[in-house]
Structures are given as C-alpha cells and as structure tokens.
Amino acid sequence: MSKEKFLVFVDNDKYEWEKSTITGAELRMLAAIPQNAQIYIKVPSKPDAPVNDDTTIDLAKHHGPARFSTQSPGSQAG
C-alpha cells in the first residue's frame, strides 16, 4: 500500500512530503531554509503570503503542488 506524497516547490526545487499539511518550521527543515530567511507561499492572482514557522499549510487544498519562495533579510523582492 503506497502512501500519498505531496509535492512542494521551494525556489523551484522539488521536494516530496508525506503528510497533507506542512508547517513553516517543517518546510524550513525539509528544504534547509536558513532561520533568517522569510518564506512566502505563492497564491494565484494574489500577492505572495508570508509563512511563519507556526503557519500550517494544507497541501491537500492546493490545485497541484504548493509553491514557496524564500527571501533573505534586506533583499528586494522581484
């Protein structure tokens, strides 16, 4: 019996996750995101939303893989 896996992309790098939800802290560990970098989730037709360590993302609700980006402090988005 195979367990469903969810795909997430962080800065265009693909990762597999075995639970239907992921927290910002889990995402940080999965993708080796430095503690001082801010994580954002890409939301179609809306500005990217910040993801804190205690934010929970429901991967099952996304149409397709969830896409995240990171930004180091002091850098400009763009």
> What is the pLDDT, as a whole number, of residue 78?
47
Distance CA(57)–CA(22), nearest Å, equals 5
Domains of the chain, start order: 6-71 (2.40.240.130)
List the beta bridge partners of residue 16.
Answer: 7
Mean predicted lDDT score pLDDT of the chain: 90
What count of other Cβ atoms lies within 10 Å of the Cβ of residue 30?
14
Place of tokens 């804190």: 52
Place of tokens 């993801």: 51
Instruction: Give the SS3 label for residue 27.
Output: helix
Taking the whole predicted model, whether its pTM rises above 0.95 is answered as: no
State the chain's maximal CA–CA distance in angstroms. Answer: 47
**26-57 pLDDT, tens digit each:** 999 999 999 999 999 998 899 999 999 999 99
* Element (DSSP H or E) covering residue 7: strand 6-10
